[in-house]
Amino acid sequence: MEIVITKENFDAEVRNYKGTVLLDFWAGWCGPCMMLSPVVSEIAKDLDGHVKVGKVNVDEQPELSRAFRVESIPLLVVVKDGVIQNQSVGVIPKNSILEMLK
C-alpha cells in the first residue's frame, strides 16, 4: 500500500516510524517519474507489511522537497527508524530498489 506523504503526516508516517520507509519524490509532469511509479507500486504490494511506501508530490510538498534537498526527480529515499539510509535519483530497475531496501 502506498501512502501520500505530506508535511502534516511526515512525522507520524516517516520520522517516528519504527521500520523501513521507501519515499518516492515525484511530479505529474515528470516522464521518468511516471515510468518508475508502477515499479514502486509493485514493490509496495510485494513488501506490504514489511516496508512502508510513501509518495511525495514535490509540487504539493515544497517544504519536504527542500528538507530532502531534492534537485532531480524521481528521487527514491530509504528511511529506517527515522534515519536516511540510502537514496537514488532517476529510473532504476526493481531489483536495484530492492537492494536499496536491504
Q: Where are the domains of the chain?
A: 2-100
Cell numbers for 46: 510485494
Residue 1 has pLDDT above 90, yes or no: no
- Indicate whether this model's pTM tops 0.85: yes
What is the average pLDDT across 72-88? 97
Q: Which residues are catalytic?
A: 30, 33
Nearest to 53 by CA among 89, 17, 29, 27: 17
Give per-residue pLDDT as tens, 43-76.
999 999 999 999 999 999 999 999 999 999 999 9
Q: List the CATH code of the domain at 2-100.
A: 3.40.30.10
Q: Are strands 75-80 and 2-4 parallel, antiparallel or unpaired?
A: unpaired
